[in-house]
Amino acid sequence: MATIRESLVRHHWVTSVLVLASVVLVPWTLVLAYRLPARHTSDHWDVAWVGFDVALAAALGATAWTIARRSPWAPSAAAVAATLLLCDAWFDVVLSNSHGEQVEAALEAGLVEIPLALFCLWIARDAEHTVEAVRGTFRQLRQ
């Protein structure tokens, strides 16, 4: 499994910036919880979701491509895909209107998006072995 480069660890400001961003996000989230309306209408709802799904498809495709090419970017691509899948599941469930939409979103999240996200996280964690397994499968198919 890949580790954080030593040169990055030596730059203490990197962790300081991330901790500061995390701390600042807490009160900002509380402000949003107080100020945001419970109901909001958007003129570009379709564009937002289509764009998100295009990004998700690209992330899944990039994950497959980086694994097939034995790229060192495979863990990163898999982590991005997992993140987008979990975000998709969250927003689908939270933003569904009717009972039927909620059931559909929950089933899609539970049966497709979350298991696929966990699979991508497994790939990200164990990318070297995944790449070698794919290579072995390709070798068997060629013979």
Number of domains in the chain: 2
Identify whether residues 30 and 50 lie together within a single domain.
no
> H or E stretch including 12?
helix 12-35
- DSSP notation for 33-99: HHHS-S----TTHHHHHHHHHHHHHHHHHHHHHHHHTT-TTHHHHHHHHHHHHHHHHHHHHHT--SH
Task: For residues 122 and 130, give the distance between their C-alpha atoms in angstroms, rounded to a whole number.
Answer: 9
pLDDT for the residue numbered 106: 97
Which ranges of the chain have pLDDT less than 50?
A: 1
pLDDT for the residue numbered 130: 67
Task: For residues 79 and 2, give the distance between their C-alpha atoms in angstroms, rounded to a whole number.
Answer: 13
| Type of residue at 7 | S
pTM of the model: 0.79
pLDDT for the residue numbered 1: 46
Please give the structure tokens belonging to residue 97: 């209107």
pLDDT for the residue numbered 141: 72
Identify whether residues 65 and 133 lie together within a single domain.
yes
Identify whether residues 63 and 102 lie together within a single domain.
yes
Residues of the domain holding 120 = 44-142
Identify whether residues 11 and 50 lie together within a single domain.
no
Other CB atoms within 10 Å distance of the CB of residue 73: 15
